[in-house]
Amino acid sequence: MRSKVALITGAARGIGNRVASELAKSGMHVACLDQDSGLLHKQVRDLQSNGYTAFPYEIDVSDPDQVEQTIEKIERDVGPITYLANVAGVMHMGTVDALSNDDWTHTFSVNATGVFNLCRAVSKRMIPRREGAIVTVGSNAASTPRIGFSAYAASKAAATMFTKCLGLELAPHNIRCNVVSPGSTETEMLQSVLTGEDSVQQFIKGVPESYRLGIPLQKIAQPIEIANTVLFLLSDQASHITMQNISVDGGATLGV
């Protein structure tokens, strides 16, 4: 994987930040994409100060023109993209009657359409090179109904099935596509729905009245635990794995 180009969306924070850092540490040239300019440039400066090769690209993944222009620039200035990690995501919580049109549209525009935009732009360049691997970070919510998660869960389910279909289409071109589905992970997104230590324990133990499953491993995941799975699926160690969805959720979805 050394010296090849990897593109990571949502690279400024959380899981995306850790995926970008670990790929850079492995010797790759990482193109870090995010909409948060301040955090994005801080992430890249930190990587560069440690001797790693990283480049910042401020982008709205829901805008297909921005995506196409950015991919063209990366391929021209950094090199051919071999690896793509779709990590960018947003979450709007609320019961269906409380969700606004904007909540629904924004959730799908980033979590599903953003994945489509990136995969389309990158894969069409991978095809003639007959080389590449794509990983989409989904969610275990995509397969387990939860109260207040309808928009998020539906968008992640869409991204998951899209990535599997893409994997089938790209298999003849020696390009692999897989999904990593985290459960509750220590990120700013999770913190936005927690209200304190009692809330953390509720996530771990489960909340029967809201049909939330507990976590058998009795802990919230750390971003590195998700990033390690992403790196494995991008690497040649996973050279015969495609169209798979690996849950990294401490057993929360009971292996289903």
Whichever domain contains 100, its CATH number is 3.40.50.720
- Asked, for residue 214, whether it belongs to a domain, the answer is no
- Asked, for residue 210, whether it belongs to a domain, the answer is no
What is the model's pLDDT at position 140? 95
- Asked, for residue 191, whether it belongs to a domain, the answer is no
- Asked, for residue 255, whether it belongs to a domain, the answer is no
Helix axes 113-129, 64-77, angle to 10 degrees: 40
Identify the CA nearest to 141 among candidates 130, 149, 131: 149
Q: What is the pTM of this model?
A: 0.93
Question: What residues contact 101, with CB distance under 8 A and at least 6 apart?
Answer: none
Tokens encoding 45: 């400066």
How many domains does the structure of the chain reveal?
A: 1
- C-beta of residue 181 within 8 angstroms of C-beta of residue 247: yes
DSSP 141: G
- Asked, for residue 17, whether it belongs to a domain, the answer is yes
- Asked, for residue 203, whether it belongs to a domain, the answer is no
Please report, for residues 11, 80, 90, 152, 225, the alpha-carbon distance to residue 111 in angstroms, rounded to integers and kept in the order given: 14, 25, 7, 8, 21
- Asked, for residue 144, whether it belongs to a domain, the answer is yes
- CA distance linking residue 126 with residue 185, whole number of Å: 31
pLDDT in 10s for each residue of the chain, 256 residues: 678 999 999 999 999 999 999 999 999 999 999 999 999 999 999 999 999 999 999 999 999 999 999 999 999 999 999 999 999 999 999 999 999 999 999 999 999 999 999 999 999 999 999 999 999 999 999 999 989 999 999 999 999 999 999 999 999 999 999 999 998 898 876 666 656 566 667 767 777 777 777 899 999 899 999 999 999 999 999 999 999 999 999 999 988 8
- Asked, for residue 188, whether it belongs to a domain, the answer is no
Q: Which domain holds residue 15?
A: 5-183+222-248
State yes or no: is 57 an active-site residue.
no
Catalytic residue among 52, 57, 152, 211: 152
